[in-house]
Amino acid sequence: MSSDALGPVMVDIGGVELSQDDRWRLCAANTGGVILFARNFASASQLKALVRELHGLRTPSLIVAIDQEGGRVQRLRNGFTPLPAAAQIGAVYDDDAERGIAMAEASGWVMATELVEVGIDVSFAPVLDCAAVMSDVIGDRAFHCKAEGVAHLAEAYMRGMHRAGMPAVGKHFPGHGGVAADSHIELPVDDRIISQIEIADLVPYRRLIDAGLDAVMTAHVCYRHVDPLIPTYSAFWLGEILRDTMGFDGVIFSDDLSMHGASRDGGPAARVQAALSAGCDMALLCNDSEAADVVLTGDELCSAPESVPRLHALVPRARQRRCSATTQSKWDRARELISALSA
């Protein structure tokens, strides 16, 4: 298929090979990306061939993404370096800040280098949430409980990703770490006022935006004293705060719109359009093929005119930063640095 533009929806696929239904969804006009899960991986060679096929389906090629944070959230394991959870790096940082920062950068670099090698464009990382409360869904995925700690470590992690030629995606904007509830299964409610959020959760975003953050993923959390709409559907959060006040000009991804925290706002097409109208450049619709079919067979979705060039620039812009070569000694040192934490 040949097309002038990527669509604004990211979908998933069923297995280690593409089915006819997969190909149809991926070539639909509204599709612009595909997210991979553990079920799509059998071996490095199989994955590399699959990604090559995904990229060859249409022009411009689809954005191929995955969650490869480390710790509990690492989709690719067999044959890939075991990556430490962010909180483990944060614990090292508390004892030795310089070593913790070096570990964060090494983790970002190793993770991204291995994904770039098999052709994957984007890992949805780093997590910028501040672990302010006990939370099963965030927990050790956060680098630290304090905003400055998150900012320092996430900036180093992003620096490692950029060295490998991969864009960094900060999540979950404006911050999921202040609530215990899991937005996969319910709608979390955060009772803080905006001034409290500004001096905590937004600190890492400001730091990373200034350092060249490429993309952001939204949170399905209701900050009811700020806006009754979750940020995914909120022009206030995405337009007034993220774009206008914080000056962010990169890509905005929604979190998965099939999650319960986003599912109260109409059917799948209405949810996707609400996210795009609020300011998301690409909406994720995962693990729900019926919902994807509804969206992809419907009318063309309306997004901001700036969304298409932002999406098209995302991957090439990051790849310009790639190191010219990965020497064995650098690779060995980086893996040695993180191996004790991820064993």
What are the catalytic residues?
184, 255
Cβ distance 96 to 149 under 8 Å? no
**Structure-block tokens of residue 205:** 């975003």
Q: Look up tokens 């090629």; give the residue.
A: 61
> How many Å apart are CA 155 and CA 162, to the nearest integer?
10
Dihedral over alpha carbons 282, 27, 57, 253 (to 10 degrees): 10
**Structure-block tokens of residue 258:** 């099939």
> How many Å apart are CA 120 and CA 188, to the nearest integer?
31
C-alpha closest to that of 73 among 139, 169, 28: 139
DSSP SS3 for 73: strand
**Structure-block tokens of residue 37:** 């899960």
Sign of the torsion formed by the C-alpha atoms of 216, 221, 227 and 229: positive
> How many Å apart are CA 27 and CA 22, to the nearest integer?
9
The neighbouring-strand residues paired with 10 are 33, 284
* φ, ψ dihedrals at 210, nearest 5°: -65, -30
**Structure-block tokens of residue 259:** 């999650």
> How many Å apart are CA 280 and CA 295, to the nearest integer?
16
**Structure-block tokens of residue 331:** 């690779």
Pairing state of beta strands 215-218 and 169-173? parallel
> How many Å apart are CA 211 and CA 214, to the nearest integer?
9
